[in-house]
Amino acid sequence: MTNKHKTLGEFIIENQQSFQYSSGELARLINSIRLAAKVVNHEIRKAGLVDITGAAGEINVQGEAQQKLDVYANDIFKETLINREIVCGIASEEEDDFVIVEGSNKKNENNYVLMMDPLDGSSNIDVNVSVGTIFSIYRRLTPTGTPVTIDDFLQPGRNQVAAGYVAYGTSTMMVFTTGDGVNGFTLNPAIGTFYLSHPNMKIKETGKIYSISEGYYAHFGKGMQAYLNYCKEEEGDRPYTARYIGSLVADFHRNLLKGGIYIYPRSKTAPNGKLRLLYECNPMAFIAEQAGGKASDGFTRVMDIVPTELHQRIPFHTGSKQMVIKSEEFMAKYK
Ligand code: AHM
Ligand code: MG
């Protein structure tokens, strides 16, 4: 079959053999994410009707309590994965601690843990700006048949077996990797099917876009400030274009398609940056590398960092390889 009309479901079946371990479990897991993404998408698309259906925290006309969309997304992903008995544990930006999923027979038979940011950039929903879901999948380290422990979650990003995001933008897209390149699927909302629209995505070696909340310039370190001055200098292909939506999935996705760098650095008020290593940085790093790009904390490869806590934050530089390398050169100069 040509790529032109290939659905996500068909893609998963065809590529199952190339998935690491390929027991069919990972394919079922990605299928579950696909389903949850469609449900969350449906709810997000109604968000503009908030005056009619009631705002979060209010009771709507049907007498139902309205949930905040990030809590809703968290519940849908959790419920779908638990109902389908497909993971042994879940960690989420929306949960204080990890969730053990024993299975209905309490045998802890499953092998994968999933980490997610169920709705990143959710404050953007009120102003009709794109948001996204980010996910990251690992094999458990502890033996099958026992409940998962924190060790199953605190793995370095290089252990990921799959990672991806869903961008709820002008269209809804699911982009993911299983360690064999990056593929993007666009939802046809009329029939509820994702189609392979962006096969084998590659990010340019270098680009012309830099994405950072430059308003905090005065709070950044010397290396970051020097790099930003470099981005704005008139020299060669510079000055670069500044594009910052403030929604990681949307900023990352644009740079993946066009070439560019996204940075959330450390600052005086955010000494470790803002983004979470496990839910945001590792999955995006895996996708960036699989697309030929790069991701670091300014000094170290993101996927080599050994996590010490679930909600750990790190500074994050990702995008076109040469741009990330250049930003690291400036960071090293003022270390
Ligand atoms: P969230 O997980 O609370 O939604 O925060 C993450 C978001 C990212 O999507 C975005 O890149 C960043 O926060 C924007 O932060 P800032 O407003 O400080 O620039
Ligand atoms: Mg987030």
Is residue 47 classed as helix, strand or coil in its secondary structure? helix
Which residue lies with its CA nearest to atom 16 of ligand 1?
246
Encoded tokens for 174: 């699911």
Atom of ligand 1 nearest to the CA of 262: 11
Residue 316: nearest ligand to its CA? Answer: 1
Reading the block at residue 198, the tokens are: 């962006």
The pLDDT of residue 54 is above 60: no
Beta strands at 172-177 and 131-139: parallel, antiparallel or unpaired: unpaired
Banded model confidence at residue 213, pLDDT cuts 50, 70, 90: very high
Widest pairwise Cα distance in the chain: 65
Per residue in 93-134, pLDDT (tens digit) is 999 999 999 999 999 999 999 999 999 988 888 788 999 999
Q: Rounded to a whole number, what is the distance in angstroms from the first to the last CA of the chain?
A: 53
| Domain annotation for the chain: domains and CATH numbers | 3-198 (3.30.540.10), 209-333 (3.40.190.80)
The per-residue pLDDT for range 176-202, each reduced to its tens digit, is 999 999 999 999 999 999 999 999 999
The residue whose CA is least distant from atom 11 of ligand 1 is 248
User: Residues in the chain, how many?
Assistant: 335
pTM of the complete model = 0.95
CA dist list (Å): 29 to 16, 24, 80, 143 = 12, 9, 10, 19
Question: DSSP assignment of 115-182, as one string?
Answer: EEEEEETGGGGGGT--EEEEEEEEE-SSPTTS---GGGTS--GGG-SEEEEEEESSSEEEEEESSS-E
Ligand 1 pocket test target in 122, 243, 264, 269 with most atoms within 8 Å of CB:
264
